[in-house]
Amino acid sequence: MADELRQKGVRPKMPAYDETPLCSVGKLVRVKLASGQLRRAMVECVEEAEGTVDVAFVGSAAKDSSDATVPIDSLRPLEPIELPFLQADNFSVSGAKEAGNAVFKLGDMEAASDLYGRALDALERAAPKANTWVLANRNGALLPGKIVLVDNSNRADVELRKDGRVEVLQGVPHHALIGVQLDQMLLQGSLHLNRSRALAQLGQQQEAAQDLSVTIALWAAYKAAGKPLETEGKEQLVKAYYLRAKTRILRQRPEPARADLRCAWALRPESTAALRQAERELELMEKEKVRSNKQLAKEIAKLADVAMSGLDEEQLASFGGANR
């Protein structure tokens, strides 16, 4: 029947997602791995006699391990809320966020990260226009700025704002700019916050920190545009500083972590358990670093003693002469 329809130029209607078995070749499913991790995958081959299927993982982490053979009973259907976002180009940004939240709660951090990313692309990657606010990278820092000129070669001149100073950055490629949605700031900021949490769960601490840096820069743009920082915005900033401090602690960067905690304290002076716990973790990390350095120094000294013990006086003298 499908072939007859194709010959007549009529595209056959695809069956609904729940109308085909989970182990159908070409079906997108969720796999529960032996580790307990959940990941989306495409069914490639079914071995019913062996009770297994070959799958190809999809998503941001698929490059790490793209194929696997898994038990048929490890397959799970996708959530109904995420189905509309699998291939659709036009979708609700807030709907994509809700779908991301649903799979986040389910435990599929990779799918959550991808859904948040699709929503952010829709918000931030529109062609820039003059007099709109953006974020641009300047010497490794994300700074708020206003587009003053857009040319025909997909480049823009951006008037950067920092500490009351203005600097014009010329010829910035459109793809290097992050659009700032002043009227949807809470939504835009929460998408970056949520994606950072998903990435952190996946062990991608540096990428998580980048999302948090974007959230912080977004609110700097909001302030530069003359908008007042309300309670919800302040709460989002506190979370961003706190979570970025956590990623920096995990990456052994104590001073930047401490700076983030100070910013969080300044925005919320009252004591909070989360911020106090982060301070304690920072102190423990620094103590461990000192202890590790002392242990390393002892091991190096011991190795040096062993190495020197086999040298005669003339050879030892030559080492001493090199240090004069």
Q: What are the structural domains, with CATH classification, of the chain?
A: 20-77 (2.30.30.140), 90-124 (no CATH)
Ramachandran angles phi, psi of 259, nearest 5°: -65, -40
With beta carbons less than 8 A apart as the criterion, state whether 82 and 74 touch.
no
**pLDDT for position 177:** 94
Residues 6+ apart with CB under 8 A from 314: none
pLDDT tens sequence for the chain (324 residues) = 445 544 555 444 556 777 788 888 989 999 999 988 899 999 999 998 899 999 999 876 555 558 899 999 999 999 998 888 877 666 789 999 999 999 999 999 999 999 999 999 999 987 788 899 999 998 889 999 999 999 888 899 999 988 788 899 999 999 899 999 999 999 999 999 999 999 999 999 999 999 999 999 999 999 999 999 999 999 999 999 989 988 988 888 888 888 998 898 888 876 566 667 777 777 777 777 666 656 555 554 555 455 445 545 554 454 444 444
**pLDDT for position 90:** 66
Is 130 in a helix, a strand, or coil?
coil
With beta carbons less than 8 A apart as the criterion, state whether 68 and 54 touch.
yes
**pLDDT for position 91:** 75
**pLDDT for position 219:** 96
Q: Please give the Cα distance from 208 to 203 (Å, whole number).
A: 9
CA-based torsion, 209, 215, 218, 224: positive or negative: negative
Q: Is the pTM of this model over 0.85?
A: no
**pLDDT for position 127:** 78
